[in-house]
Amino acid sequence: MILDLDTLLRRGQAPARFHLERLDWPGESIDPSINIVKTVVEGTVSADGSLLTVQGLLRFDYETQCARCLTQVSSHQEAEFAEEFARSESEDAPDRYLYVGHTLDLTQMVEDCIALNMPLRTLCSETCKGLCPVCGADRNIVSCGCSADEGPMKNPFAALAAKLREENEEV
Ligand SMILES: [Zn+2]
Ligand SMILES: [Zn+2]
């Protein structure tokens, strides 16, 4: 996710347009249970002296597990962004990113933007029924007939699964 400023600004358009794409995103700030399949960033760079403003639209496709039934889900998000890049740090503007020389590296900015716009949970469907807390069956597929207040847990992991799911629901 690197732009060459010489090439970009030499074209003489103001602001200068760019389009970047990347497959996979092994970013450290992104939840490892989420697989970022494809990221597309397009926008413009405008310069005010050495201060650059980068703005545009971020789109990304990702795969993760449904927070209720744990099946694999493919989903998509998009978000607008507008960030400033400076040559040196400034106490007045701690949110600015930095750039060096003639290249503008958008990697950290894009990764931050992905992390910020990732939903706290993704569902396979808004009406997903989730797993049965008693027997662990996927209630979208089978009707297991358990009642919620049925005696001791038949599946030793069902209690844990139900608890984890409750925590997810509370987020
Ligand atoms: Zn589901
Ligand atoms: Zn059941």
Q: Is residue 146 part of a domain?
A: yes
Q: Is residue 122 part of a domain?
A: no
Nearest by Cα to 35 from 49, 47, 25, 48: 25
Burial grade of 36 (CB within 10 A; 0-12, 13-18, 19 or more) = buried
The stretch 88-111 carries a mean pLDDT of 90
Domain residues for the domain of 141 are 129-171
- Those residues whose beta carbon sits under 5 angstroms from the ion ligand 1 are 66, 68-69, 124, 128
Residues 141 and 90 in one domain: no
- Please give the Cα distance from 62 to 59 (Å, whole number): 10
Residues 61 and 104 in one domain: yes
Residues 40 and 112 in one domain: yes
Residues 91 and 156 in one domain: no
3 state DSSP class of 80:
strand
Residues 29 and 81 in one domain: yes
Write down the pTM of the prediction: 0.76
Ligand with minimal distance to 136 CA: 2
CB-facing half-sphere around the CA of 60: CA atoms within 13 A: 26
Residue 67 pLDDT > 80, yes or no?
A: yes
The stretch 68-97 carries a mean pLDDT of 92
CA of residue 164 to ligand 1 center, whole Å: 14
- Please give the Cα distance from 143 to 121 (Å, whole number): 25
Distances in Å between the Cα of 139 and the Cα atoms of 70, 71, 75, 146, 161 are 12, 12, 22, 10, 14
**Tokens, residue 54:** 């980068």
Q: Is residue 123 part of a domain?
A: no
Nearest by Cα to 86 from 63, 109, 66: 109
Highest mean pLDDT among 56-65, 113-122, 158-167: 56-65
Residues 58 and 102 in one domain: yes
Residues 110 and 170 in one domain: no
Q: Is residue 19 part of a domain?
A: yes
CA of residue 150 to ligand 2 center, whole Å: 10
Count structural domains, the chain.
Answer: 2
Ligand with minimal distance to 153 CA: 2
Residues 135 and 54 in one domain: no
Point out which residues pair with 105 in neighbouring strands: 2
Residue 3 pLDDT > 80, yes or no?
A: yes
- Those residues whose beta carbon sits under 5 angstroms from the ion ligand 2 are 132, 134-135, 137, 144, 146
pLDDT band at 89, cuts 50/70/90? confident
**Tokens, residue 112:** 């931050």
The stretch 147-168 carries a mean pLDDT of 68
Ligand with minimal distance to 161 CA: 2
